């Protein structure tokens, strides 16, 4: 794929694939094009060239909500959770694609949809359980630690049955303990057959969870290998340390 913003080529001829059960981590300096690659996959920015396929079906040109409905979900680099709402309510918004508040609007307008509400709540609680934070369901999300909030975001991304999730720097600001928990949760999701695309700088998490690491520089892929080999890669050393 190639993505251009007026004069700037943010992603240049990038090609990769991620399989079920695999964690592929995109790394690279600020501005390398990592978030833009996520945006292109999710339909948030158009590609100048290239295409994206999901489960052998082309998804190029679909709208973000259509792509999300197929099972590709993401978290955003700077988009937090809804602090005033409970953890459970935050996760429930993941079941509503476009407007987070509509779900509850429907529930209040139509008491007849009790059963649908119970089913949704059950799914959300099960997802929280999977992330190891079921006991926090009724707490205001703003009371949680950063790490717990990140797990809530992932639960929200996953609750509608995602098969590919894209996580943009989920470990920023997390304590070592929270990073460990996050890493374990990501490996658990992968073990269930979810495909995970990660953008991450935090090294211990990258090393712990990635099957493959892909390094971008100025929008181009300069390396792709298992995480254990990345430190020996000449191109990567040049980019990060300025020498080979
Ligand atoms: N919507 C946009 N319009 C114009 N330029 C953009 C847009 N989004 C990104 N860019 C530019 O594209 C390049 C790649 O940005 P991108 O956000 O993908 O980098 P990144 O690798 O995610 O960086 P970071 O590590 O800082 O998050 C940058 O030069 C950025 O300024
Ligand atoms: Mg980014």
Mean pLDDT of 96-115: 55
Q: For the domain bounded by 1-71+163-244, which CATH number is listed?
A: 3.40.50.300
pLDDT tier at 135, thresholds 50, 70, 90:
very high
pLDDT exceeds 70 at position 219: yes
Positive or negative torsion for Cα 191, 68, 136, 118: negative
Q: What is the pLDDT of residue 9?
A: 98
Report the candidate in 188, 128, 162, 147 with the shortest Cα–Cα distance to residue 41: 162
- Report d(CA 148, CA 86) in Å as an integer: 13
Query: What is the gyration radius of the CA atoms in the chain, in angstroms?
Result: 18
Report the candidate in 48, 34, 16, 13 with the shortest Cα–Cα distance to residue 216: 34
> Does ligand 1 lie within 6 Å of residue 35's CB atom?
yes
β-pairing, 53-54 with 220-225? unpaired
> Does ligand 1 lie within 6 Å of residue 10's CB atom?
yes
Tokens at residue 133, please?
């934070």
- Report d(CA 70, CA 59) in Å as an integer: 9
> Does ligand 1 lie within 6 Å of residue 217's CB atom?
no
Atom 17 of ligand 1: nearest residue by CA position: 35
DSSP state of 113: G
> Does ligand 1 lie within 6 Å of residue 32's CB atom?
yes
DSSP state of 97: S
Q: Which residue has the tokens 């943010």?
A: 10
Per mean pLDDT, which range of 18-22, 90-94, 111-115, 118-122 is the poorest? 111-115
Domain map (residue ranges) of the chain? 1-71+163-244, 81-159
Note residues around ion ligand 2 (Cβ under 5 angstroms). 34-35
| Centroid of ligand 2 to alpha carbon of 124 (angstroms) | 28
Positive or negative torsion for Cα 108, 112, 114, 117: negative
> Does ligand 1 lie within 6 Å of residue 28's CB atom?
yes
pLDDT exceeds 50 at position 100: no
Task: Convert the pLDDT of each residue in 38-61 to its tens digit.
Answer: 999 999 999 999 999 999 999 999
């Amino acid at each position: 794929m190639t993505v251009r913003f007026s004069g700037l080529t943010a992603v240049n001829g990038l090609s990769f694939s991620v399989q079920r059960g695999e964690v592929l981590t995109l790394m690279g300096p600020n501005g390398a094009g990592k978030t833009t690659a996520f945006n292109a996959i999710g339909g948030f920015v158009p590609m100048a060239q290239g295409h994206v396929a999901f489960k052998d079906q082309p998804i190029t040109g679909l709208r973000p909500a259509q792509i999300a409905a197929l099972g590709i979900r993401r978290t955003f680099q700077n988009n937090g959770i809804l602090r005033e709402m409970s953890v459970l309510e935050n996760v429930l918004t993941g079941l509503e694609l476009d407007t987070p508040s509509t779900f509850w609007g429907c529930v209040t307008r139509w008491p007849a949809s009790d059963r649908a509400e119970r089913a949704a709540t059950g799914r959300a609680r099960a997802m929280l359980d999977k992330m190891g934070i079921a006991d926090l369901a009724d707490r205001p999300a703003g009371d949680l630690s950063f790490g717990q909030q990140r797990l809530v975001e992932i639960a929200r991304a996953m609750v509608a049955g995602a098969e590919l999730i894209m996580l943009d720097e989920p470990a920023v600001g997390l304590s070592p303990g929270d990073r460990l928990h996050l890493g374990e949760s990501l490996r658990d999701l992968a073990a269930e057959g979810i495909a995970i695309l990660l953008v991450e700088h935090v090294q211990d998490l990258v090393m712990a969870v990635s099957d493959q690491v892909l390094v971008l520089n100025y929008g181009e892929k300069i390396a792709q290998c298992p995480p254990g080999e990345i430190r020996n890669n000449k191109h990567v050393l040049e980019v990060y340390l300025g020498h080979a």
